Amino acid sequence: MSVRVRFAPSPTGKLHLGGARTALFNFLFARSQKGIFLLRIEDTDKERSLKEFEDDIIDSLNWLGLKWDEEIIRQSDRVDLYAKIIKLLLDKKLAYYCFCSKEELEARKQEMLTRGETPIYSGKCRHLDAKEIQDKIKRKVNYVLRLRIPEKTIVFRDFLRGEIKIDYRQIGDFVIAKNEFEPLYVLANTVDDHYQGITHIIRGEEFLHTTPKQILLYKYLEWDHPIFVHLPLVLGQDRSKLSKRHGAKSISEYRQEGYLPEAILNFIALLGWHPNVDNELMSLEEMIKSFQLEKLNKSPAIFNTSKLNFFNKHYLKLKPAEELLPLLDFKNFGKFGQEQKFYANNGCVYDLLKIYKIIDLGKERATLINDILNFVNFFFNDFDYDAQLLLWKNASLLETKSNLIFIKETLDKIKEERFDDAMELKNFLDNIIPRDKRGYFFWPLRVALSGKDFSPPPFDLMSIFGKEKTLNLISKAIDKLSSLI
């Protein structure tokens, strides 16, 4: 039997980390078993389902690289199928009309709750005869359709948790449809899983309690039910279920903030799953290779951003500058012009090669894509700084000034072309400046070129700026010091 699984979100909110993880595990299981992974949009709730959310879910899944294999199915397109099943259940008297009002139901629920009982439906409308039913329908009394439960306990098997025992009397006759044409989740989901030939239902633990209801439906409809796999929940910092309600970030928001799909996938994969070997850095391909459903965890996971950030940093470093370029926002730094040259706000003109170099310098230090350019903004915008910043440790103004003058004069003798190679510049200066004196030369040089107390090494800065700009910036620093002496 070949594996068929699905991710079946309802478009009532954007895709968040928990949903993405459910999709990922379904995807990994399908791929690792050479099976099929499907996407189904569960939009039976017309009030809450929004096209905007459906788009977000589809975009996010695409962005993560979780490709589904067959056409997307929408429950809103399958009304006829559900109607047929509803009619069947009605005809067989397995389902029945319930005319109880919401107020009536709510009152009974409160009453049971105060008595310390589980609130369930009384079964009041269970035995209405055909005449009464027709009569009430004619009088347009509101109704729903309920399934008749057996008065016994069911034992079913969850793939991860083993046998689970639940008494149907704890559930009561539950609603399966608003009317003959509007099924609820419990029914539509069951029907679709059957007709799509789903072999394994891999979903969040919040659905564990609907399993006995669905198993009953499978039984009434004389279908075999799939294997149930209930994933432990992903919990937020407050230890409660991740949901839109308490501000869980959506995948699209993470994307906007500058996270890479590789990082998010790697991070969520480790929430409840662990490969055999103790190597946590995995591409999607590697995950597929080592994925085993049996290795899934049973206990909920609280996610914490610092590890996600670590992964993002890691994958950022691996990403070539060419691929990062289209993801970056240069609008505060200058403009691209003719022949792919970049015209920076400070008058510098960089070719593509230099832009790549700049990106590489930024990405070594950034956590998020959006941080990259901020780490190297001195390449683009004029900057100012406090002259005191030029002083290394206990260095004096005078000493620092003369060191900068020395560096300037030394650099002045170097040919312009040699400025392109940071390594060469480093070797050159390392040979001239005594080892124990480097801080007194390189620190002020670096500050002169960046205006910051932290930045890439001065040689990298010089290799981007080129000879002329470098000498200008050093002169500026010397002037700053002079004004204080």
Partner RNA sequence: GCCCCUAUCGUCUAAUGGUUAGGACGUCAGUUUCUCAAGCUGAAAAUACCGGUUCGAAUCCGGUUAGGGGCGCCA
**Tokens coding 306:** 């610092």
Of the residues 235, 288, 397, 471, which one makes contact with RNA according to CB under 7 A: 235
Residues 89-128: x/- map of binding to RNA (CB under 7 A)? -----------xxx--x---x---x--xxxxx--------
Backbone angles phi and psi of 230, in degrees to 5: -100, 115
Q: Which stretch binds RNA (CB under 7 A): 25-33, 52-60, 217-225, 307-315?
A: 307-315
Residues 322-361: x/- map of binding to RNA (CB under 7 A)? ----------------------------------------
Backbone angles phi and psi of 98, in degrees to 5: -125, 120
Of the residues 32, 290, 297, 370, which one makes contact with RNA according to CB under 7 A: 297
How far apart are CB 407 and RNA at their closest, in Å? 12
If the CB atoms of residues 128 and 208 are measured against RNA, the closer one turns out to be 208
> Taking a C-beta distance cutoff of 8 angstroms, is the pair 37, 218 a contact?
no
Segment (H or E) for 149: none
Q: Which stretch binds RNA (CB under 7 A): 56-64, 253-261, 351-359, 442-450?
A: 442-450
Is residue 303 a contact residue for RNA (CB under 7 A)?
yes
> What CA–CA distance (Å, rounded) separates 366 from 257?
12
If the CB atoms of residues 166 and 221 are measured against RNA, the closer one turns out to be 166
Is residue 240 a contact residue for RNA (CB under 7 A)?
yes
The 3-state secondary structure of 196-224 reads: CCCCEEEEEHHHHHHHHHHHHHHHHCCCC
Residues 170-199: x/- map of binding to RNA (CB under 7 A)? x----x--x-----xxx--x----------
Residues 443-472 that bind RNA (CB under 7 A): 443, 446, 453-459
Is residue 434 a contact residue for RNA (CB under 7 A)?
no
Give the residues across from 179 on adjacent strands. 182
Give the residues across from 144 on adjacent strands. 98
> What CA–CA distance (Å, rounded) separates 97 from 23?
36
> What CA–CA distance (Å, rounded) separates 204 from 190?
16
Residues 39-58 that bind RNA (CB under 7 A): 42, 44-45, 48
> What CA–CA distance (Å, rounded) separates 250 from 17?
7
Give the residues across from 308 on adjacent strands. none
Of the residues 239, 331, 413, 415, which one makes contact with RNA according to CB under 7 A: 239
Residues 267-286 that bind RNA (CB under 7 A): 270-272, 274, 278, 280
> What CA–CA distance (Å, rounded) separates 127 from 143?
15
Residues 368-397: x/- map of binding to RNA (CB under 7 A)? ------------------------x-----
> What CA–CA distance (Å, rounded) separates 405 from 485?
15
